[in-house]
Amino acid sequence: MRTARIHLFDTTLRDGAQTTGVDFSLDDKRAVAALLDRLGVDYVEGGYPGANPLDTAFFAEKPTRQAKFAAFGMTKRAGRSAANDPGIAALLEAKADAIVFVAKSWDYHVHVALEISLEDNLAGIRESVEAAKAAGREVMLDCEHFFDGYKANPDYALACARTAYEAGARWVVLCDTNGGTLPDEVGAIVREVAKVVPGDNLGIHAHDDCGCAVANSLAAVEAGARQIQGTLNGLGERCGNANLVTLIGALKLKERYRDRFELGVSEDQLGELTHVSRALDEMLNRAPNRHAPFVGASAFATKAGIHASAVLKDPRTYEHVMPEARGNTRKVLISDQGGKSNLVAELKRRGIAVARNDPRLDSLIALVKDREAQGYAYEGADASFELLARRILGTVPEFFKVESFRVMVERRHNALGDLVTVTEAVVKVTVDGETHMSVAEGNGPVKASGVRKPSPIVSAMISTRISPIATILGRAFTLPRASLRRSTSAGRAPVSVPADASRVKTKLYVRKLCSEARWRRCYPADAGPKASAAAPASPEFWPSAARTNRTSRNATRASLAMRASISGASLPNSSERPPPMTTTSGL
Kindly report, residue by residue over 347-374, the tens digit of the pLDDT. 787 788 888 788 888 888 788 888 888 8
Residue 148 sits in a domain whose CATH number is: 3.20.20.70
Residues linked to residue 431 through DSSP beta bridges, in sequence order? 434
> Domain span at residue 514?
507-576
Query: Distance of alpha carbon 514 from its chain centroid, rounded?
Result: 42
Same domain, 238 and 355: no
Same domain, 50 and 125: yes
Cβ distance 36 to 24 under 8 Å? no
Query: Distance of alpha carbon 103 from its chain centroid, rounded?
Result: 37
Q: Is residue 277 part of a domain?
A: no
Same domain, 237 and 305: no
Cβ distance 545 to 474 under 8 Å? no
Q: Is residue 274 part of a domain?
A: no
Q: Is residue 212 part of a domain?
A: yes
Cβ distance 165 to 197 under 8 Å? yes
Same domain, 197 and 216: yes
First to last CA, the chain: 89
Q: Is 526 exposed, middle or buried (0-12, 13-18, 19+ CB in 10 A)?
A: exposed
Q: Is residue 88 part of a domain?
A: yes
Residue 333, pLDDT score = 55
Residue at a domain's end among 393, 428, 458: 393
Q: Which residues contact 586 (CB under 8 A, 6 or more apart)?
A: 412, 413, 414, 415, 417
Residue 411 sits in a domain whose CATH number is: 3.30.160
Same domain, 116 and 174: yes
Q: Which residues contact 135 (CB under 8 A, 6 or more apart)?
A: 92
Residues linked to residue 243 through DSSP beta bridges, in sequence order? 231
- Within 10 Å of residue 368's Cβ, how many Cβ atoms? 22
Question: Is the torsion defined by CA of 142, 147, 149, 154 positive or negative?
Answer: positive
Q: What is the mean pLDDT of the chain?
A: 79
Same domain, 376 and 428: no
Query: CA of 55: how far to CAs of 26, 39, 90, 319, in Å?
Result: 8, 22, 11, 42
Query: CA of 220: how far to CAs of 228, 284, 293, 303, in Å?
Result: 9, 31, 20, 36
Same domain, 408 and 436: yes
Kindly report, residue by residue over 249-290, the tens digit of the pLDDT. 999 999 999 999 999 999 999 999 999 999 999 999 999 998
Cβ distance 298 to 323 under 8 Å? no
Query: CA of 35: how far to CAs of 30, 146, 240, 354, 538, in Å?
Result: 9, 31, 20, 42, 62
- Residue 166 belongs to what H/E stretch? helix 154-167
Q: Is residue 584 part of a domain?
A: no
**DSSP-derived secondary structure letter, 394:** T
Q: Is residue 45 part of a domain?
A: yes
Report d(CA 237, CA 215) in Å as an integer. Answer: 18
Helix (H, G, I), strand (E, B) or coil at 294: coil
Q: Which residues contact 522 (CB under 8 A, 6 or more apart)?
A: 418
Residue at a domain's end among 358, 393, 428: 393
Q: Given the DSSP bridges, would you call strands 138-144 and 331-332 parallel, antiparallel or unpaired? A: unpaired
How many domains does the chain divide into?
A: 4
Q: Given the DSSP bridges, would you call strands 401-413 and 419-431 parallel, antiparallel or unpaired? A: antiparallel
Same domain, 170 and 225: yes
Same domain, 378 and 467: no
Q: Is residue 273 part of a domain?
A: no
Q: Is residue 582 part of a domain?
A: no
Same domain, 445 and 416: yes
Query: CA of 86: how far to CAs of 51, 79, 83, 185, 324, in Å?
Result: 11, 13, 8, 38, 49
Query: Chunked in runs of 10, what are the mean pLDDT values of the chain (587 residues)?
Result: 88 96 96 97 97 95 97 96 95 97 97 96 98 97 98 98 98 97 98 97 98 98 98 97 97 93 95 95 94 86 62 70 76 61 76 82 83 80 83 83 89 88 89 88 63 43 37 34 36 42 49 52 44 38 38 46 47 42 33
Same domain, 384 and 405: no
- Torsion over CA of 518, 521, 525 and 530, rounded to 10 degrees? -50
Cβ distance 340 to 356 under 8 Å? yes
Residue 514, pLDDT score = 52
**DSSP-derived secondary structure letter, 468:** T
Same domain, 332 and 312: yes
Residue at a domain's end among 473, 499, 524: 473
Beta strand segments in 384-470, E: 401-413, 419-431, 434-442
- Within 10 Å of residue 112's Cβ, how many Cβ atoms? 10
Length of the chain: 587
